[in-house]
Structure 1
């Protein structure tokens, strides 16, 4: 049995058919690049996995667990979702990270600010980023912080949705190589050619 399964998915949006009998299997720790023209449901697909979009028919399974209203929270705990909007809480960076790791679901994780400082260097972010407000950062800086947060949360599944849009070419290459080096199940949504010829299986529709 595959680790992630989309079985016979049907989805309509705004009187348009997005998916009609769609099937996809993804193995544990496989890296997949989702390829489709704009408006063909790439983001909808990953949001179905998170339970934010509900298909008209079909089923989604994660590690043999069927996604339902009762299991959605358990499944979300397995997933780190990083989008181009870098949707992370507002506030001072150091305080935001501390508060996230104080959530009951994350308290089993070891977190120290010194680790975050090391990641700032890895992500080419100045050390005083810790004292800045999230709202004062550029889009690219917020994206990199969101990536750090996703890595430190150490979830089994990573969804990376257009995460390279705010980065220059050198940083893009660095981030992609870093992320794909992890033994995680990774779903990438992107139009960026930086992912071509990488260790990803391309899924097109």
Structure 2
């Protein structure tokens, strides 16, 4: 079953086509890597798939329904983008994790401190991490927090944009294992990775999406 599909996507930046006519899809249960040369717009493409950037030409569909027809909060709750450098509102880690559950789109979900603490143990942290000031987190700690928040919200597709790049090798492996379990734990989930580490892409992705600049043969 195809979860997320793009057809004929084109994006222009300062009058120049960054990519033109790009198409790709990811199916339920799949883990794919988006690869392309530096400057090809991989982050921009992930943000477009997530509904955070305009679709200039072409179409993105989720569960066969065009992105433009979805209520955008509902769409973004299901197709979730994790940036390399997450930014949080003021407060502690617990506040950051709990805050999205107050949004209308997540009204049927309940924030569970016990589940947040359980996930933290995967990364060798305990409940004291929840009291940390989010503004003082290191790059790696911020990535852990963003990843936990996403998993607690249970989307269908996670778009990971160098989302483990600031973690040490052991923690990267723990994150990869956690995401793999999340992907296979329930039907209808998928991962798309952008990673500059070829070894990571080989570990986590079953196949690759190729993104070439417009005009490249």
**TM superposition outliers: structure 1 runs of 4+ over 6 Å:** none
1-side partners of 2:203 and 2:134: how far apart?
A: 34
Q: CA deviation at 1:116?
A: 1.6
The residue that corresponds to 2:175 in the other structure is 175
Query: Over aligned residues, Cα RMSD in angstroms?
Result: 1.9
The 3 A distance-change label for structure 1 pair 85 and 15 is same
Q: CA deviation at 1:164?
A: 1.6
Check whether the contact 2:73–2:105 (CA below 8 A) recurs between aligned residues. no
Q: Which one has the bigger helix percentage?
A: 2
1:140 aligned to 2:151?
A: no
The residue that corresponds to 2:215 in the other structure is none
Match of 2:2, SS state, is coil
1:195 aligned to 2:201?
A: yes
The 3 A distance-change label for structure 1 pair 91 and 54 is same
Instruction: Give the TM-score of the pair, scaled to structure 1.
Output: 0.91
Q: CA deviation at 1:110?
A: 3.0
The residue that corresponds to 2:8 in the other structure is 8
**Could you list the runs of 5+ residues in structure 2 that have no partner in the other structure?**
184-188, 212-217
Q: Deviations over 1:15-35 (max 9, x none)?
A: 322111111122122111000
Check whether the contact 1:84–1:161 (CA below 8 A) recurs between aligned residues. yes
Instruction: Give the TM-score of the pair, scaled to structure 2.
Output: 0.86
**Could you list the runs of 5+ residues in structure 1 that have no partner in the other structure?**
none
How many residues align? The count is 205
Q: Deviations over 1:126-176 (max 9, x none)?
A: 432211210111110111011111111011111111012111111111211
Q: Deviations over 1:36-93 (max 9, x none)?
A: 1111121111111122222331111111111217643332121222111123332112
Range with greater deviation from structure 2 (112-121 or 167-176): 112-121
Superposition pairs of residues 49-64 of structure 1, within 5 angstroms? 49-64=49-64
Check whether the contact 1:176–1:195 (CA below 8 A) recurs between aligned residues. no
Check whether the contact 2:47–2:53 (CA below 8 A) recurs between aligned residues. yes
The 3 A distance-change label for structure 1 pair 104 and 72 is closer
